[in-house]
Copies of this chain bind each other. A is one copy, B any other.
């Protein structure tokens, strides 16, 4: 993990379809050397996956909201995590410090989708209370990768 590795990861983050020769020119290495480094970075898990950043709006998930979640005292936290991990609306779910237990970011198609999301969790008694903040506009956002079963 030297400085050239970092440059390569940044390069790939901007456009992972650039040719090895191109990247080599940018970082001052031959194609073979770049190829070997990328292989190593992927094998080591520094690069987790080659993916795309998609437009949530175009995929029917134009509304983002942050939901703070409080679990019940006797909550099955493992069950909550399992459901959250597989939930199609959830873009991010972090266990956090402070008065709430989890901070969840969801992406849905409409405001009704937010209500449906909360209903689903509350009906299954996975969360006890929540507070929701809706995103009005975006200044910076990480890549969006749609979930789903795609053989």
A4 to chain B, nearest CB (A): 11
A83 to chain B, nearest CB (A): 10
Contact B94 A141 (CB under 8 A): yes
Q: Pick the contact of A6: B44, B47, B59, B139 (CB < 8 A).
A: B59
Residues of B within 8 A of A139 (CB): 81, 84-85, 93-95, 102
- The count of identical subunits is 2
Contact A54 B64 (CB under 8 A): no
A145 within 8 A of B: yes
For the residues of A in contact with B, the DSSP-based class is: mixed
A81 to chain B, nearest CB (A): 5
Q: How many residues of A contact B (CB 8 A)?
A: 64
Residues of B within 8 A of A50 (CB): 15-17, 50-52
Q: A49-B143, A94-B137 are in contact. List 15 more A-B contacts (CB 8 A).
A: A7-B150, A12-B52, A13-B147, A15-B50, A16-B17, A46-B58, A48-B143, A49-B52, A49-B53, A66-B94, A85-B139, A85-B140, A92-B141, A93-B139, A96-B133
User: Residues on A close to B: CB < 8 A?
Assistant: 1, 6-7, 9-17, 26-27, 44-55, 58-59, 64, 66, 81, 84-85, 90-98, 100, 102-103, 133-151
